[in-house]
Amino acid sequence: MPDLSRMRRDYTSGRLTEEDLAPTWVEQFDRWFADVVAAELPEPNAVVVATADADGAPDARIVLMKGYDEAGFIFGTSYASAKGAQLAANPRAALVFPWHAIQRQVRVTGSVERIGDAASDGLWDPRPRGAQLAAVASVQSTVVDSREELTDRLRLLDEQTPDGPVPRPAVWGGYRVVPERVEFWQGGKDRLHDRLRFVRDDAEGGGWIVQRLAP
């Protein structure tokens, strides 16, 4: 077992100053997401989604972001999944984009809303048929006896479903995380990280202010 107390790397890739920051969080995210794609990181749109149930018990998992704009960040899932049940009881979430390879992360907190049928179709339709079949065959987050049970369900569904795209089931759809805070974290030498956070200021009609956070 390695000595975990000594397992670390220093961060020397750059700085994030107020002068360098884009005027809006979405423009800053555009810049950083372009950098991630250019760096050819695997799964650049992978994001940790943290939720909590009605009792406040936390839960987290990684999903793929499928869109973003000024209104928020979008991902798709089963409404019957564990996160779907948690969001029904407590419609708030936190996101983390863990771009360790370029010594950056983006953290988001906000409310969560469903995006509606037409927009959910827009997420479902580009999925490969195999992924569509798997989403229908698997009742997400439920206990199964074996992997063979899942593969048998998938095989039978494939045999019983006409060729071509599979219609989106009503239980599957998209969520939008509507940001209240968006933090841009740049790793710094000696752990003196740069943390700049956009905070929605509802008292000023929904405008945004920028805060620097201690690392």
> Do 29 and 182 form a contact (C-beta atoms < 8 A)?
yes
> Do 64 and 114 form a contact (C-beta atoms < 8 A)?
no
Structure-token pair, residue 205:
């009609």
> Do 14 and 194 form a contact (C-beta atoms < 8 A)?
no
18-31 in b/e form (b: 16+ CB < 10 A) is eeebeeebbebbee
Question: Would residue 191 show up in a list of annotated catalytic residues for this protein?
Answer: yes
> Do 87 and 53 form a contact (C-beta atoms < 8 A)?
no
Count of other CB atoms within 10 angstroms of residue 78: 19
Structure-token pair, residue 17:
């100053």
Structure-token pair, residue 132:
């569509």
The sign of the torsion formed by the CA atoms of 165, 169, 172, 175 equals positive
Which residue in 15, 31, 129, 191 is the catalytic one? Answer: 191
Structure-token pair, residue 123:
């997420």
Catalytic residues, by residue number, are 191
